[in-house]
Amino acid sequence: MSLLAANLLGLVLTCGHQGLGTDVSYVHSGIFQSARIAPNAADPAYLSMLPNVVKLFEHDQPIGIAVLIDSSGLYLAPKNSINTEEEIEGHFPNGQTGHLRRLNTDSLTGLALLKSDYVPPNARPVSVIPADPNPGTLLVVMMDSGSVRGRLDSTEKIGIAKVTGRLVPLSEVRFETPTSTLSGALVFTTSGVFVGAINATLAKLPAGAADFRAQFSTKLSNQAVPVGGLGGGGAAGNGQIADSLGPADMTVAYTPGVDVLRRVVEGFLSPSHIVAYASLGVFCRNGAGGALITQVVAESPADKIGMQAGDMIVSMGLYMVRSQIDFAKIMNKARPGEQTFIRFDRGGRVYMKGVTFGRILD
Amino acid sequence: MKRNSDDHLFNLAFGETSEAERAELEAKAATDPAVAAKLRELRNLKADLRSLADVPPDQLSNDRLRDAILGQGLKPKQAFDWSWVWMPALSCVLVAGLMMGIRHRQSVEPSLVGSAVVSLQTSGVPLFSGDKGGDLAANFKPSESKKRSEVQRIDPVSFRHPVSRKGGHGRSWRRRHGLSGLYADVNLGAGSGIDENDVAPGGLNTVSLPVGAADARISGLKPVDNTSATPAVVVIEPDKDKDSGTQQAREVANSKNVVIGG
């Protein structure tokens, strides 16, 4: 009864905010300040995946989880949850503790590769989902304290890392706002296939978010969503995961796209544990019909073929470049060491040069 | 000895012996049945050879035999000769393939961005050794690979304004399709200063580029809508969100001013 009252209170607060026409409930982050939900540690999907993860601790404080990607003891974790360069304490599901050391990181996706000398006997490496899941796919967001339900909304988001300016394809995920931090959260399908790691949350909800929340508010008022599991992840009373979200408020977050995730895992599992990305060595912004170069890195492949700031890339290989986003998409598909030809415009004159992509190491 | 006797009998059967030898061999054949049988066999052989010699020389080869048969009014069964069929068949296939290719090309959007990158070959990979901060230049280390030649300028042969020509699109059509304005004829062929690394497989020759709108002319399709080329992007801020503990994301409706590194 008190539970229902608390949810109704959240609904009232929500409606009140909407009535005022403000976004006060999510001014600073994508996480609503009301109607959070505790991660469900009894979720069957969570329990089925638990043997394959290890909880990470720093100074006796939980910082996230890592998932086994190779039976040799290689674990994958969001690096934004890891604040130390030293060994990290790991608590395995069977009660064992051990230490994990960081072998490598990938700044583009915010993932880190950890090595553990201990692997529980019943742990199985997870597999990355082979292709983009369909929007609407039900997901499980795993944290160190349990899981919450989520839903894949899009696999076509374009992310730009502000520091490096590099493009990373993103999957947009919406899930019930947990009471605990999302740093170090991993995303799976309900059948345990690895989908990604939460590396960012939206600072402001996009247009349509009010409708999205209203949808769940309506479901709540109609009691279409079982609420008996609150404190148990919004699951139905029998512990099963409902196929709709709510009644908690929603968080919009992003994980690296499936393609880049697979590339990272492949790189981490290689003998060198290195994930390499192709690079031309330029920074550019949108130009009139191309990617306008604003900076050329010294000694880069672009520098070696004589490209300059002010040049506008109009095509690469057989593909036209209409904007800097097109350029980034091509670079995202390219591999270090590949050769192609690049056509660029300089003051109305067109130049064409062969170029070999360099590589950026993390 | 037997061989010598057979030779004598052979000579006798073919009339190539002297009278003395002939009398001696026939006397021997009269007393020895085996010799008589051999002589008889050889004489039959001679008779057969004679009958063979009676075949007209013009019938001793297949062609001549066929001609002889035809000369007697007989016609051989005509076998169909398929050897010429492949040429028109191949021509039809090529024409059909060309037509399908043209149709397919006309139905495809001009931009193939994001599908793949043409990979020619791999050699000497320049190396970036770090990307942990905003200063990409500071983290770049030069490659051990050999230096490439300095940029080689490709001078356009000429600039021209599009003019209406017989069988082509008129100026008004090009203006409607955004193709009006100044064109640059870029010579990408021999003598333009391009080495083998600069030209796509299959080679390129002269390309006419409308200055500032090269995409439309190259694709041969509808002009580029540049507004669609600046989609919404999600900028990942380096700062952590206090509430979620993750990096902050910010949606930018128009990516026109977003700087990309690559």
Residues A339-355: tens digit of each pLDDT:
999 999 998 888 989 99
> What confidence category does residue A113 fall into, taking pLDDT thresholds of 50, 70 and 90?
very high
Write the single-letter amino acid at A81.
S
B164 against B61, higher pLDDT: B61
> What confidence category does residue B182 fall into, taking pLDDT thresholds of 50, 70 and 90?
very low
Average pLDDT, rounded, for chain A: 78
Q: What is the pLDDT of residues A46-87, one digit of tens each?
A: 888 899 999 998 888 888 899 999 999 999 998 877 777 778
Question: Does B128 sit within 8 Å of A360, measured CB to CB?
Answer: yes
pLDDT of B239: 78
What is the mean predicted confidence (pLDDT) over A290-312? 93
Q: What is the pLDDT of residues B191-219, one digit of tens each?
A: 333 333 433 333 333 333 444 333 333 33
What is the mean predicted confidence (pLDDT) over A228-237? 35
Considering only alpha carbons, which residue of chain A is nearest residue B257? A285
Rounded to whole angstroms, the maximal C-alpha distance in chain A is 75
What is the mean predicted confidence (pLDDT) over B168-191? 45
Average pLDDT, rounded, for chain B: 58
pLDDT of B52: 57
CB pairs under 8 A between A and B: 332
ipTM score assigned to the predicted complex: 0.73
Percent of chain A whose predicted confidence (pLDDT) is above 70: 77
Write the single-letter amino acid at A251.
T
What is the mean predicted confidence (pLDDT) over A141-163? 86
A228 against B92, higher pLDDT: B92
Q: What angle do CA A21, A27, A32 make, to 5 degrees?
A: 90
Contact residues on chain A for B179, CB-CB shorter than 8 A? none
Contact residues on chain A for B134, CB-CB shorter than 8 A? 163-164
> What confidence category does residue A120 fall into, taking pLDDT thresholds of 50, 70 and 90?
very high
Contact residues on chain A for B110, CB-CB shorter than 8 A? 320
> What confidence category does residue A203 fall into, taking pLDDT thresholds of 50, 70 and 90?
low
> What confidence category does residue A204 fall into, taking pLDDT thresholds of 50, 70 and 90?
low
| CB B119, CB A339: distance < 8 Å | yes
What is the mean predicted confidence (pLDDT) over A144-161? 86
pLDDT of A114: 93
pLDDT of B83: 67
Region for residue A246 given its phi and psi (left: phi exceeds 0; alpha: psi -120 to 50; beta: otherwise):
left
Best CA proximity match to A38, nearest among A232, A271, A262, A294: A232
With both helix axes pointing from N to C terminus, report the angle between B19-31 and B2-13 in degrees, rounded to the nearest 10. 110
Contact residues on chain A for B200, CB-CB shorter than 8 A? 317-318, 341
Which are the contacts of A120, defined by CB distance < 8 A and separation ≥ 6?
Answer: A51, A92, A93, A94, A96
What is the mean predicted confidence (pLDDT) over B110-128? 35
Edge-to-edge strands of the sheet including B156-160? B156-160, B183-187, B206-210
Within chain B, residue ranges assigned H as helices are 2-13, 19-31, 33-53, 62-71, 86-107, 136-139, 171-176, 214-219
Best CA proximity match to B126, nearest among A163, A311, A277: A277
- Among A191-195, B120-124, B247-251, name the most confident range: A191-195
Contact residues on chain A for B193, CB-CB shorter than 8 A? none
**A350 closest CB neighbour out of B120, B142, B156:** B156
Cα separation, A252 vs A173, in Å, equals: 6
Which residue is listed with tokens 């193709």? B179
Q: Is the pLDDT of residue B39 over 50?
A: yes
Work out whether the CA dihedral A113, A114, A119, A123 comes out positive or negative: negative
Question: Does B148 sit within 8 Å of A167, measured CB to CB?
Answer: no
The length of chain A in residues reads 362
Percent of chain B whose predicted confidence (pLDDT) is above 90: 0
What is the mean predicted confidence (pLDDT) over B75-95? 72
Region for residue A319 given its phi and psi (left: phi exceeds 0; alpha: psi -120 to 50; beta: otherwise):
beta
Q: Is the pLDDT of residue A134 over 80?
A: yes
* Residue A56 buriedness (CB in 10 A; 0-12 / 13-18 / 19+): buried
**B198 closest CB neighbour out of A322, A333, A354:** A354
Question: Does B137 sit within 8 Å of A322, measured CB to CB?
Answer: no
Cα separation, B208 vs A101, in Å, equals: 58
> What confidence category does residue B154 fall into, taking pLDDT thresholds of 50, 70 and 90?
very low
Q: What are phi and psi of A154, to 5 degrees?
A: -160, 145
| CB A284, CB A316: distance < 8 Å | no
Q: Which two tokens stand for residue A267?
A: 């790189």
Residue B98 per-residue DSSP state: H
| CB A176, CB A246: distance < 8 Å | yes
| CB A156, CB A148: distance < 8 Å | no
Best CA proximity match to A195, nearest among A228, A144, A154: A154
Residue B79 per-residue DSSP state: P
Contact residues on chain A for B214, CB-CB shorter than 8 A? 289, 314-315, 345, 350
pLDDT of B260: 85
B127 against B94, higher pLDDT: B94
Contact residues on chain B for A353, CB-CB shorter than 8 A? 151-152, 197-198
Percent of chain A whose predicted confidence (pLDDT) is above 90: 28
> What confidence category does residue A271 fall into, taking pLDDT thresholds of 50, 70 and 90?
very high
Neighbours of A149 (CB within 10 A): 27
Q: Is the pLDDT of residue A156 over 90?
A: no
> What confidence category does residue A179 fall into, taking pLDDT thresholds of 50, 70 and 90?
confident
| CB A149, CB A229: distance < 8 Å | no
Best CA proximity match to A150, nearest among A141, A142, A159, A158: A141
| pTM for this prediction | 0.56
Contact residues on chain A for B133, CB-CB shorter than 8 A? 163
What is the mean predicted confidence (pLDDT) over A169-197? 86
> What confidence category does residue A292 fall into, taking pLDDT thresholds of 50, 70 and 90?
very high
Which residue is listed with tokens 């696999």? A155
**B125 closest CB neighbour out of A280, A322, A337:** A337
**A304 closest CB neighbour out of B148, B258, B262:** B148
Question: Does B152 sit within 8 Å of A323, measured CB to CB?
Answer: no
Q: Is the pLDDT of residue B23 over 60?
A: yes
A223 against B6, higher pLDDT: B6
Task: Please give, rounded to a whole number of angstroms, the shortest distance from the CA of A84 to a CA of chain B.
Answer: 16
Note whether A168 contacts B: Cβ–Cβ < 8 A. Answer: yes
Q: What are phi and psi of A45, to 5 degrees?
A: -65, -40
Question: Which H, E and C letters describe chain A, residue by residue?
Answer: CHHHHHHHHHHHHHHHHHHHCCCHHHCCCCCCCCCCECCECCCHHHHHHHHHEEEEEECCEEEEEEEEEECCCEEEEEHHHCCCCCCEEEECCCCCEEEEEEEEEECCCCEEEEEECCCCCCCCCCCECCCCCCCCCEEEEEECCEEEEEEEEEEEEEEEECCCCCEEEEEEEEEECECCCCCCCEEEECCCCEEEECCEEECCCCCCHHHHHHHHHHHHHCCCCCCCECCCCCECCCCCCCCCCCCCCEEEEEEECHHHHHHHHHHHHCCCCCCEEEECCEEEEEECCEEEEEEECCCCHHHHCCCCCCCEEEEECCEECCCHHHHHHHHHHCCCCCEEEEEEEECCEEEEEEEECEEEEC
Task: Please give, rounded to a whole number of angstroms, the shortest distance from the CA of A74 to a CA of chain B.
Answer: 23
Which are the contacts of A307, defined by CB distance < 8 A and separation ≥ 6?
Answer: A282, A293, A296, A342, A344, A353, B151
Q: What is the pLDDT of residues A1-39, one digit of tens each?
A: 343 343 333 333 333 333 322 232 333 344 444 567 788
Give the least confident one: A12-21, B142-151, B152-161, B176-185.
A12-21
Question: Does A304 sit within 8 Å of B125, measured CB to CB?
Answer: no
SS3 of residue B29 by DSSP: helix
pLDDT of B187: 38
Give the least confident one: A157-171, A189-203, B136-150, B228-242.
B136-150
